[in-house]
Chains A and B, each alone.
Chain A
Amino acid sequence: MSKMVEVRWHGRGGQGAKTASLLLADAAFNTGKFVQGFPEYGPERMGAPITAYNRISDERCPIHSNIYEPDYVVVVDATLLSAVDVTGGLKKEGAIIINSAKSPEELKPLLEGYEGGVYTIDAGKIAEEEIGRNIPNTPMLGAVVKVSGVIPEDEFFKDMEASMHHKFANKPHVIEGNMKALKRSMQEVKGL
């Protein structure tokens, strides 16, 4: 099989981690890839830790299990760092991307010796300023596309703009904020 990129999302119920994983699948699909986007289902409730996954590749992936050795981990809620083993199995050639106002240097000690890339993005702030509500999934999506390079950036922008025009046909004022949030997250994500 050709190179496959595997992403694991950690969030809390209600924050949109599942939606973000489906958006990433959509964006990758639209650039010609084979995709999987799926959450781990259980008795979901608001605020409980949830996990979602993506596989992105050039051929159809036959595997239908959870992801145990991801290339990238996205943490939508930084309070999970002390509650969940977010770096479990994460490849050291890969990276973790955390929604936090703190710097990668400040958060690295919480990652139990993880040797790979550590990135932070203040997705909550960007969402509040650009979209008007603390919905971190759009900026987190931008950050993961930037860090992973799994989708060419210009194609990603074009595609997101088109799909937002489709999705928010009745709410065009939302589109500009979301696109700004995407762009800002790609510029502001900080790495170590």
Chain B
Amino acid sequence: MGIRERLSGNEAVAVALKQIDPDVVAAYPITPSTEVPQYFAQFVADGQVNTEFVTVESEHSAMSACITATAAGGRSATITSACGLALMWELLYVASGSRLPVTLAVVNRALSGPININNDHSDSMGARDSGWIQLYSENNQEAYDNYIMSLRIAEHKDVMLPVMTCQDGFITSHAIENIELLEDDKVKKFVGEYKPEHSLLSGERLSIGPYDTPMFYFEHQYQRARAMVDSKKVILEVSKEFGELSGRHYGLFEEYKMEDAERAIIVLNSTAGTAKAVVDELRSKGEKVGIIKLRVFRPFPMEELAKALAHVKAVAVMDKAESFSGIGGPVFGDVRSACYELKTRPHIINYIYGLGGRDVPMSDIQIVFDALKEVVKNDNPGEIYRHVGVRGV
């Protein structure tokens, strides 16, 4: 039953890539994701994979190479962080708009400036409207599992959208932890062969990515948006099949001790684990608290989240990215909107936390649960847009 190993989050993604053996990997190094293409290049050099490894001159080129390789009918993948993702921006939209199931492992890092190499989610949150499915991972195990699943989701004929799988830079990408790997043959069987309905090398007359006139552009955008809605069902199907294979079960989000929770925190990636430890402590003192860990941020699980929050009195949404909207972070806006049609709504506040690698200790989560206690007591959210762990506020 699986292979017991200890790997960093970056090693876990590199091993997943080795087991998948994609046709093309094109990547340009950037901290903290550099190790993934570095390990993968070793697998290529050692003849452990048959992949065409393209050492491009920028992330813009990396994504371009993946787009063209996928359009040609191959399976392609890339890896990046922060400014590397920002440099891919133009092509992110081309990948999803051309309905090409590229997969991308994002090792989340703060965007410049000022320059910072450490973790927050400003890179992938900035790309949330690019038509990519986004999966988030608490630890190395989830980074590995999500990545393997991402191919099946992306390539499904009802989806045909690219997927980015995110994990926290350094915090999980560079931390050695236990992991249970699947055997190579099981991974190969699970991901199967990529058989696109149409591709440039299939012999059919085809052009991909041409000019789209006002006569058709809107319809294509509608179809792309529809595919994002439909992908929710596919994500659940693929996750169910993966659960049967691995014993590890994933939904759109994970509910941790939410059954009778009066106060809840919504969070994604590594801080979800830290928050679970705080929930355990508070539960042992009889406090009714719980966590919702978002796994799927795009498509956003609106109805499902609203249902999960309907019985809660106060919710804090944690955002590891500023959106500079003046009204809170990106996850907050969507969660608050999701709850609008509920007959009885929880109070919902926002906390920006952990920017640029600021460590998020258990005491920060405690502060948030304490604040929610006040919100419940006063039956009033008070200040809605808040920060935790920053000096001078």
* A interface residues with partner B (beta carbon < 8 Å): 1, 22, 25-26, 29, 34-39, 41-43, 60-66, 68
Instruction: Please tell me which one of the listed residues A1, A35, A39 contacts residue B6 in the complex, with CB atoms under 8 A apart.
Output: A35
12 A–B pairs (Cβ distance < 8 Å), ordered by A: A1-B277, A22-B176, A25-B6, A26-B176, A35-B178, A37-B175, A38-B175, A62-B273, A63-B277, A64-B138, A65-B359, A66-B359
Confirm or deny: B170 has a beta carbon within 8 angstroms of a beta carbon on chain A: yes
Residues from chain B with Cβ under 8 Å of A68 in the complex: 361
Closest 9 CB pairs between A and B?
Answer: A62-B273, A38-B175, A64-B270, A37-B176, A29-B6, A65-B361, A41-B170, A62-B276, A66-B359
Q: Do B139 and A64 touch across chains, with their CB atoms under 8 A apart?
A: yes
Contact with A along B267-296 (1 / 0, CB 8 A): 000111110110010000000000000000
Q: How far is the CA of A36 from the CA of B177 in the complex (A)?
A: 5
Residues from chain A with Cβ under 8 Å of B120 in the complex: none
Residues from chain B with Cβ under 8 Å of A66 in the complex: 359, 361
Confirm or deny: B150 has a beta carbon within 8 angstroms of a beta carbon on chain A: no
Interface size class of B (residues with CB under 8 A): 20 to 34
Known: A29-B6, A63-B362, A64-B139. A39 touches B174 (CB 8 A): yes
Q: Do B6 and A64 touch across chains, with their CB atoms under 8 A apart?
A: no
Confirm or deny: B118 has a beta carbon within 8 angstroms of a beta carbon on chain A: yes
User: Shortest distance in angstroms between A158's beta carbon and chain B's nearest beta carbon?
Assistant: 18
User: Shortest distance in angstroms between A101's beta carbon and chain B's nearest beta carbon?
Assistant: 31
Residues from chain A with Cβ under 8 Å of B168 in the complex: 64
Residues from chain A with Cβ under 8 Å of B272 in the complex: 62
Which residues 78-125 of B have a CB within 8 angstroms of A? 117-118
Confirm or deny: B191 has a beta carbon within 8 angstroms of a beta carbon on chain A: no
Q: Do A25 and B176 touch across chains, with their CB atoms under 8 A apart?
A: yes
Residues from chain A with Cβ under 8 Å of B361 in the complex: 65-66, 68
Residues from chain B with Cβ under 8 Å of A29 in the complex: 6, 178
Residues from chain A with Cβ under 8 Å of B231 in the complex: none
Q: A38-B174, A62-B139 are in contact. List 11 more A-B contacts (CB 8 A).
A: A22-B176, A34-B177, A37-B175, A41-B32, A60-B177, A60-B178, A62-B274, A64-B168, A65-B274, A65-B361, A68-B361
